[in-house]
């Protein structure tokens, strides 16, 4: 089996690749070649695997060629993130819309009909005078995105559905919740602080939370997110249930509850490293996001959200320990 992961050098993409390579199979087929396409080279441990090949450069420049390589399966994760798209409208269009269409057209021209999982986002939902945003968004809540990023994701959901309707691919769109805790430094996503208020204090650094403690949002751990992406890929067409996007499982949690969990796991001194300093730009974006989500279709596939946010914090600590990343846990000493 030949598999493509766009955004394969990123945090979720690299974790997905490691998980699949360790399994050795996807949907019952042996993984013979895994191509990781990204702007940057994949981590060294992935490149050391003889089954892995890297395609480095802007996806828009690579898309047509990738589409013609004859892939059996695809995870399309590559995307410019929310904050970037708000600051640079053209960047968002190129990175999210133009590259996705070019990739799908490459598959259409090749005639391989690959199975494609597109990573959409909970950001497709937002408030609108004609469509009030419910307290909990469901699989059937009408999307009304209030950011360019959310709009791009929704448009791509419909593109994937229509290319599937036409028989050019077997597409499935999965709406990811905010994935936390992400390692490394903050990125351009408006949701970056959901990881930063946990990651930085554990590393012994001060973290700034740009929204109030009462802000609620659906989140998911990296492990549950990767598990869900694989399950969506491996589901039969009938089990997936139609062509429209489905929500992935979410733990609906307030910022204050996240910090309570941090204190429960790591102690009050670690929690004390978080200070609140409102950022109107970030707060304005987050105010237009769902406060919670449900995922009935994902539940039918056997998927469940994380048990608690304390479990998510513990998973991050365990991942850092496994990687030997002592600096990430310097604040625990």
CA distance 314 to 202: 11
Catalytic position from the list 149, 163, 233, 240: 149
Assigned token pair, 199: 């990651």
Taking only Cα atoms into account, the Rg of the chain, rounded to an integer number of angstroms, comes to 19
Contact 174, 120 (CB under 8 A): yes
Q: For 184, what's the count of Cα atoms within 13 Å in the CB-facing half-sphere?
A: 9
Verify whether residue 163 is a known catalytic residue: no
* Of 264, 276, 261, the residue nearest 308 (C-alpha): 261
Question: Most distant CA pair in the chain: distance in Å?
Answer: 58
CA of 214: how far to CAs of 254, 257, 266, 291, in Å? 6, 9, 21, 10
Tell me the catalytic residues. 149
């Amino acid at each position: 089996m030949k598999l493509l992961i766009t955004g394969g050098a990123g945090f979720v993409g690299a974790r997905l690749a490691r998980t699949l390579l360790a399994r050795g199979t996807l949907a019952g087929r042996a993984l013979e070649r895994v191509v990781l396409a990204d702007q940057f080279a994949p981590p060294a441990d992935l490149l050391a695997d003889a089954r892995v090949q890297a395609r480095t450069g802007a996806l828009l420049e690579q898309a047509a060629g990738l589409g013609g390589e004859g892939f059996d399966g695809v995870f399309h994760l590559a995307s410019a993130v929310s904050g970037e798209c708000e600051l640079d409208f053209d960047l968002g269009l190129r990175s999210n819309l133009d590259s996705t269409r070019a990739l799908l057209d490459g598959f259409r021209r090749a005639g391989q009909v690959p199975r494609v999982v597109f990573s959409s986002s909970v950001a497709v939902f937002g408030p609108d005078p004609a469509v009030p945003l419910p307290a909990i968004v469901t699989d059937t809540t009408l999307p009304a995105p209030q950011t360019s990023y959310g709009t791009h994701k929704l448009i791509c959901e419909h593109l994937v559905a229509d290319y599937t309707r036409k028989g050019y691919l077997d597409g499935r769109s999965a709406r990811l919740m905010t994935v936390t805790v992400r390692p490394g430094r903050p990125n351009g996503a408006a949701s970056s602080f959901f990881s930063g208020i946990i990651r930085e204090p554990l590393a012994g650094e001060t973290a700034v939370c740009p929204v109030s403690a009462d802000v609620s949002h659906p989140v998911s751990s990296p492990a549950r997110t990767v598990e869900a992406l694989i399950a969506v890929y491996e589901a039969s067409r009938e089990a997936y249930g139609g062509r429209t996007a489905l929500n992935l499982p979410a733990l609906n949690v307030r910022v204050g509850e996240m910090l309570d969990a941090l204190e429960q796991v790591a102690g009050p001194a670690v929690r004390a490293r978080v200070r609140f300093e409102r950022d109107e730009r970030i707060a304005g974006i987050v105010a237009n996001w769902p406060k919670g989500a449900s995922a009935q279709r994902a539940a039918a596939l056997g998927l469940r959200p994380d048990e608690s946010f304390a479990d998510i914090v513990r998973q991050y600590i365990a991942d850092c320990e496994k990687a030997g990343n002592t600096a990430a846990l310097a604040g625990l000493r």
